[in-house]
Structure 1
Amino acid sequence: MLYKLLVNLRSGVFMLQIDGFWVENPNLVKPEILQHLQSRFKLIEVMYKHCSFYKNKHCNLFKAEILQHLQYVGGIWSRVLDSKYGGWRNLYEEGRAGHQSLWWKDLKQTVNSAQHGDIVYNNMRWKIVGGDKVRLWEDKWNQQQQPLAKRYPRLYQISTQQNQTIRHMGQHMQSGWEWQFLWRRPLFENEIESAVNFLKDIEGIHIQQQGSDEWEWLGDQTRVYSTRSAYNLILEASKGGQQQDWSKELWKIKIPSKISVFAWRLIEDRLPTRMNLHRRQVQLQDLRCPFCREAVEVASHLFFHCVFIQPIWWESMSWLNLQTAFPLGPKQNFLQHIFIQAEGLRSKRWRYWWMVVTWAIWKTRNRVLFSNAEFDANRLFDEAVFWTWTWLRHFEKHFSTHLNQWASNISQGFIM
């Protein structure tokens, strides 16, 4: 309910913006838009009280979705949040809590928490374009791992340009950008070395006369913030050491080496899916999934969430009488699969099954793309059954089940 509410709100905001009223008649339409959003904000705050009470996973999605909208600089949603709360900066700064809504205070608490806040903060930084938004001393920008104010505290203390954007700390000359630093006093001798290092850190900044500074999200290769990437980062951190153990679990499985390498590439999102090829600047006319022809072909969709593939996983889970939601990404799906607890489960065979199904999906995908074959779910399933049987013959002692018997009673093969 809460997630749908936010999606509906986003659609309403974008619809108003797309209609062009804001641009054509800003003085006339702006109060109407603000009044519309204010009424929706009240509804969100009521719903968010329930979200804070139950503390379920949808609350995390809600918070992540709010963060996603903050990146749309210039959009109505972003401009209202910036006007009402101070936008991104207010999330990391102390303010009067009495003037903040319940869900904004909760979001701010999450961002500044020791567990999840560092994950968000460490994966955000400014990309300097025109220097109109980035504060030179206080913000983390480009390749800097920490603000200059923390790296050079003595210089920061004597600067008279604290909290100033880059654009106000210099000017464009015919020869290029020229810095104009102002200090409270002359530098002491023991501050000269810090000043030299400081100048080295900023000498590579290219300030353009046109353009506006942008946020970069390091949690995704596209450098654009998304709810999914933030959710995956927080999920990995919440799993702690277990998330780092997936590779150990993978390499312990006795299967042909090429399948192990394939599984590793799948989990690390290194397979040449259409989206990955597009990110590597490979020109493709069609990025859609070759099975359903609807969604973009990314690993999570191709192997787990495509409508042509999901029935295979549902059938597999039914053998164990389990009903569960599929995680977002391959890594989480692999971990969920290998750590499933079910009475009488043959865990080694169950791990084989994840390998053979994903491998069969990839082989089927390549036949459809490069041999103009039709998607055949029965063939895909039969190949997975056969490869599982083949591996068990080679790697499991005392396995003597005939192929026909194994195929006709496949569900019994995973339960003692």
Structure 2
Amino acid sequence: MWVKIINALHGQEGGLNNQGCSFNGTWSRIIGTLNFLHSKGIIPLNSFCFKWQWNWSRSNIGTRNTAYLNDLLLGISQIDISVDEDTCTWVLSNDVTFSVISARRLIDSKLLPSIPTSTVWDKFLPRKVNIFLWRLSLDRLPHRLNLSSRGLDIPTISCSSCNGNVETADHVFFEYDLVKEIWCLVRK
């Protein structure tokens, strides 16, 4: 019954409206009511006092915190606020406007591996050997460490032949003892 009486006297919103606000909630209704009262000439907006009060914490905040607060206030006081309209610039392109390609280039430069030299294909080698050597130079061969780093569940990343070193491309093709002997024979 009381709800019906209050609604009849003050309306569904309890006398507060959100006219002039684009957000929902108590504060938007309060501001909407202030704007409504101002638009009807009932209360001028300059009669309200909007200010910060610095009583956020106890009065004795300590020497270190006082120094931090003073540094903060000094930093804020040195900010030059212009009356120009705010703009957003993208410094990664020459014309300072955002483009998807400039964002893509930034992401690629951070995430994709860079190849220091261009790939030279030897026309006297079979294509599969050229591709194998290219994948070896990029560390894209399926050895245990690469498989593990790509999420494949393997019991160990140790070399199955020597059980000591981590199985990497360098280990398999250059550091393993048997491979060193083979390379010595190839060089002769």
- TM-score above 0.5, yes or no: no
Q: Which has the higher contact order (CA 8 A, sep 6+)?
A: 1
Greater Rg by CA: 2
TM-score (norm 2): 0.42
Which has the larger helix fraction?
1
TM-score (norm 1): 0.20
